[in-house]
Structure 1
Amino acid sequence: MHSISEGPNREDKGSTHLEEPEIDVKRATFEEAVEETGFGKFNLVLLLVLFFPCLSQVLETVNISYVLPIAQCDLGISLEDKGFIISVSFIGMVVSGFFWGVLSDSFGRKKVLVYGYFLNAFFAMIGAFATSKTMIIIAKFFGGLIISGPFSAAIAHTTEFHSKKYRSKVQFIRGMSISFSNLLLPLFAWAILPYQWDFSILEYNFHSWNVFLMVCATVPLLGGICYMFLPESPKYLMSQGKNTEAMEVFQKVYAVNTGKGKSTFTYKELIKETNVSQDTSFEQRSPLETIKNGIEQLKLILHKPYTSRMILACAASLLVTSSNNTFKLWLPQIFQSINDYQSNHNGTSTDLCTMLEDLQTPEEVVEEKIICSVNTNNMSVYTNSMIVATTRMVCCLICTYLIEWLGSKKLAITLPLLTAVFSAGLYFSRTPIEVLALSSLGSSIGSVADLVIMNITVEMFPTTLRTVAIALQLMTGRLGTLAGNITFPYLLNTGCAPPFAFVTILPFCCAILSFLFPNTENKPLL
């Protein structure tokens, strides 16, 4: 017995070497590691930088709506041209959507962000130097082709630095950044476009709208520069089997957030996510494998019960987006038309249909010559646009709480129906105040309706199919926006009733279709 009890104390070096316990190394999953980094200075910087992608997205798709009323004489733009120029960015987005997803999954979020925003700034600057509508069209097409990739990568990049506790808040901040960007854009326009600048640099003639587009081009440039100094997403690094690099990122974030040394980070190694996760997004894939995986997910959506759900989600999104985005992108021009009418009629106003006649290229006869002229005394255009953007932010906040009370399905029925009512009311409005009130409420509620439908789509599909389902829904919405903006000017030329019937009937049909949605859990909108 004595020899057995003293066994461990024997000075047998060989035996001691064999029985020496292994060093206890704490290994963590992604969720454990990102939770350990906490929330601090690094996360705040990340959320501040996210504002650049949000503002860049808004500038790329909406800024041309403020430029066209001012640049129409310089570039010889007709009413039909305006519809195509407004929509050409969305053509680029539809063409490039799947392509950017493959690049982001294969080469990383950071590369897509940096190179993507630099390229977007380049084409935005080409638009600023435009001397013809053809140059504007080319610049906006390539801008749209590029912008959706880095924007999606920015959302993924920011989310992947936050634990589950903060991810819903990240989406809320993203939504508020988009809303604030819509408020900031008319402020930019107000500060620059009313000035009648006319000067030359290197044989290029510049006007206020050229300067405005130059200022817009600096936003994606600043965004690309900011992301150069931020680390790659640790989740992406782990998906590529680069656990050592991912650990270094976690330690740096932890040190910035807590003020402690990197060596005090609780975990020393990371578990290979491919061994512990059933989510295929974690698997290391080549570009070809990413494409194959996307095709496999598309095949699953084409089988019951997902096919009918996908058709329903895309149809509802098509209806509400076609109406809302078309009206939203034409609002600055509608406000400009009202402003022009009042300017030409000593401040008086009449019914909206009569005032919309000034949407055509403004011409006047001077010494028996037809002269194209633009009214730059249009402060009301920008103040009205800011009121609409503010209303949209308020509606978004209110509906974020309403969804907890009423549920997604009831809102998906009610909000498009209200949008249709306010849109129809515009046809009968007789004062600028009525137009502003109805357009603010109709546009804002329509935007929130689109978010609600997106929220329902997320709940209708399992995790492994959500990315493809949302991508298909976004593509359908962009196609609707494209078709709506090309159609709208032709409807205006046929009379006043057709364009308002267009923006009224579509959301009404969406409300009817929303009765078919299943009852889903009440989740945050943003």
Structure 2
Amino acid sequence: MDSGETKISLKDAENEEKEQFKLLHKYEAEVPKTFEEAISETGFGRFNYTLLVVILFPCATQMVETVGMTYIVPVAECDLHLTIEDKGLLNGVTFAGMISSGLFWGYLCDALGRKKIIVYGYLVTGFFSVMAAMSTSKGMLMGAKFMSGLIMHLSKSKAVLIPIIIFFLFVEFHAWNVFMLICASMTIISGILYMFLPESPKYLMSMGRNRAALVVMRKVYSKNTGKPQEDFPVKKLVNEAKQNFTSSRVEMATALKSGWEEMKTILHRPHINNMILASFNAFSIVMSLNTLKFWLPGIFQSISDYQNNHNGTSSSMCVMLGEMSKPKNITSSQECSVVKFHAWNVFMLICASMTIISGILYMFLPESPKYLMSMGRNRAALVVMRKVYSKNTGNPQEDFPVKKLVNEAKQNFTSSRVEMATALKSGWEEMKTILHRPHINNMILASFNAFSVVMRQVFSSLLVILTFISATCMFCIYFARSSLAVTILSAAGTAVGSVPENLLLTITLELFPTTLRTIALSIHLTAQRFGTTLGNAIFPYLVQMGCLPPFLFIGIFASATGLLSMLYANTENKPLI
């Protein structure tokens, strides 16, 4: 009996030890992970490539929304009876809208979520861009472009769609209207594409919604690796919810108070001097560069008008620039030498855009499982069916009852096509292997570090040299006598000047501690937009004063940036705080 009891007790001890091991293993598996630890487990794959493709559209949208008007103004001058002052206001009105609403976007992103703001923001911007494209007066065009920058009353804007569409049928369209519609379609496509992307898991964690963040990470993990979502190794996330946030919304008073405290800190010593210097440099360099960039199409138009009126001959910039400030005595729209479109032309363009959007949306759908089976790719077909089953039922993909499919491969599937598919697949696998190797990341990191070291050594002199080169090129446009000379000098001046513009942004981030970096960046960007708006408003009056003042104005402010950059504190080899 004693030996039997001993065996039972030993067995119980072994079982208890196993249970404790399982519990310990389970506990270790459920140790909360930080965002960085969890997101690193999702890998790099199809989701990341999709994200990169989607981002192309917002990048294009940002360009056409801010710079597109500069190409429209010279062409629309005749139809809308624009004066030179009107052109300056139209060039800068979008940035005025950005300045008006810039302080609210940070709060709205925290309160409503990144995805919502991005989707609604692009769709409403697209709506106002369509309104701008249908403009029949300069007031309507200016108001629509201002609202594109401002984006107010997002939820109410849908109510005026129907009268706008009705009005659209009676508008006579010109080439610039169609160009603006194409630009608007890019904005709308960006908003539609963002609908298919998940909310930022970082934002979800900051709002205390760890379960939702974990669901997003599991989906990303599954898309990148091809494995089931249940295999995602992270089971629990660290609670990163901010103490001053409610579970669903950021308290407005708290956000405003926090922002005001940061503003008071940055406007007092020792930060006030750095902030004034950084803001003025941002203001002056962008006022020079963007004023020139935004008025270049008008300058080229003046040169073209002069040559057309003088049998193709050229003259000095002073003489040719005089065409810009001359009033156009147009008595009817028939005298405007532009291409006109009727409503049916634009309707066909809209139909074409719908076709393009359909093609983009189909990129997010899987291949037909029937086709995959007919090509002998039963495993791929089964993967598609499992995903459809999981999305339709909410159950894990592993619960899909079908484990094997009948071989329905076509007999006429030639060996050459198989070889081609195999070769392409092999090449793709090799490419993925190369891109996933850790030493590639190390090489990139080492390159950036080496570049940073070199930049630190020549930083102070480089910034001054580049700003003076840019200022010289832009001022020398005054001496140009042809479109080619203007093109070369303006391209060199703006290209070289864009380097100091980005360097100044980096300096601003280095000058301030982490707690003040966000507000410092906001002030820096606001100063840039204010410089763009003011520069475009002043430029027409300088042109009316003569041909020298506008180019002298651009050159002086670019040079001032280089001189004032010498006053920056030395941050070399100092750690970021």
Fold conserved between structures, TM > 0.5: yes
Cα deviation, 1:439-464, whole Å, max 9, x if unaligned, reads 11111222222111001111112222
SS state of the match for residue 28, structure 1? coil
Q: Find out whether 1:505 has 2:505 as its counterpart.
A: no
Q: 1:433 to 1:311 in 2, by over 3 A?
A: same
Displacement of 1:273 in angstroms is 2.1
Gaps of 5+ in 1: 150-199, 378-398
Q: Find out whether 1:450 has 2:450 as its counterpart.
A: no
- Aligned equivalent of 2:454, options 400, 405, 427: 405
The corresponding residue for 1:264 is 231
Give 2:232's aligned amino acid: F
The corresponding residue for 2:107 is 102
Displacement of 1:362 in angstroms is 6.1
Aligned-residue CA RMSD in angstroms? 3.3
Q: Find out whether 1:144 has 2:195 as its counterpart.
A: no
Contact 1:109–1:236 (8 Å) recurs in 2: yes
Contact 1:127–1:135 (8 Å) recurs in 2: yes
* Structure 2: distance between partners of 1:218 and 1:101: 26
Contact 1:411–1:452 (8 Å) recurs in 2: no
Which is higher, the Rg of structure 1 or of structure 2? Answer: 2
The corresponding residue for 1:168 is none
Cα deviation, 1:365-421, whole Å, max 9, x if unaligned, reads 9xxx799955559xxxxxxxxxxxxxxxxxxxxx99976524343332222111111
Displacement of 1:521 in angstroms is 5.4
Contact 2:122–2:190 (8 Å) recurs in 1: yes
SS state of the match for residue 204, structure 1? coil
Cα deviation, 1:222-266, whole Å, max 9, x if unaligned, reads 011101111000000000000011011111111111111112212
* Structure 2: distance between partners of 1:493 and 1:341: 17
* Structure 2: distance between partners of 1:274 and 1:8: 48
Gaps of 5+ in 2: 155-166, 340-447
The corresponding residue for 1:393 is none
The corresponding residue for 1:57 is 62
SS state of the match for residue 119, structure 1? helix
Matches within 5 A, 1:10-159: 11=12, 21-22=23-24, 23-24=26-27, 25-146=30-151
* Structure 2: distance between partners of 1:291 and 1:223: 30
Q: 1:402 to 1:416 in 2, by over 3 A?
A: farther
Q: 1:401 to 1:141 in 2, by over 3 A?
A: farther
Q: TM-score, normalised by structure 2?
A: 0.71
Cα deviation, 1:347-375, whole Å, max 9, x if unaligned, reads 2212222111121356469xxx7999555
The corresponding residue for 2:566 is 515
Q: Find out whether 1:232 has 2:195 as its counterpart.
A: no
The corresponding residue for 1:427 is 478
Contact 1:364–1:373 (8 Å) recurs in 2: no
The corresponding residue for 2:208 is 241
Displacement of 1:79 in angstroms is 0.5
SS state of the match for residue 273, structure 1? coil
* Structure 1: distance between partners of 2:300 and 2:531: 23
Contact 1:309–1:460 (8 Å) recurs in 2: yes
- Aligned equivalent of 1:207, options 174, 183, 198: 174
Contact 2:281–2:564 (8 Å) recurs in 1: yes
* Structure 2: distance between partners of 1:36 and 1:99: 34
Contact 1:69–1:374 (8 Å) recurs in 2: no
Contact 1:416–1:511 (8 Å) recurs in 2: yes
Give 1:459's aligned amino acid: E
Displacement of 1:342 in angstroms is 2.0
Displacement of 1:268 in angstroms is 0.8
SS state of the match for residue 173, structure 2? strand
Contact 1:241–1:284 (8 Å) recurs in 2: no
Q: Find out whether 1:317 has 2:368 as its counterpart.
A: no
Q: 1:470 to 1:345 in 2, by over 3 A?
A: same
Contact 1:417–1:508 (8 Å) recurs in 2: yes
- Aligned equivalent of 2:312, options 309, 330, 347: 347
The corresponding residue for 1:333 is 298
Q: TM-score, normalised by structure 1?
A: 0.77
Cα deviation, 1:113-156, whole Å, max 9, x if unaligned, reads 11111110110011111110010011010001139x9xxxxxxx
* Structure 2: distance between partners of 1:85 and 1:39: 43
Cα deviation, 1:422-475, whole Å, max 9, x if unaligned, reads 122111222322211111111122222211100111111222211111100111
Q: Find out whether 1:300 has 2:300 as its counterpart.
A: no
* Structure 1: distance between partners of 2:201 and 2:294: 38
Contact 1:77–1:361 (8 Å) recurs in 2: no
Contact 2:207–2:241 (8 Å) recurs in 1: no
Contact 2:79–2:336 (8 Å) recurs in 1: no
Give 2:490's aligned amino acid: S
Give 1:39's aligned amino acid: F
The corresponding residue for 1:161 is none
Displacement of 1:91 in angstroms is 1.0
Give 2:288's aligned amino acid: S
Identity %: 43
* Structure 2: distance between partners of 1:309 and 1:446: 22
Contact 2:201–2:216 (8 Å) recurs in 1: yes
* Structure 2: distance between partners of 1:459 and 1:317: 15
Count residues in correspondence. 442
* Structure 2: distance between partners of 1:401 and 1:445: 22
* Structure 2: distance between partners of 1:6 and 1:518: 78
Q: 1:347 to 1:78 in 2, by over 3 A?
A: same
* Structure 2: distance between partners of 1:503 and 1:400: 35
SS state of the match for residue 27, structure 1? coil
Give 1:74's aligned amino acid: D
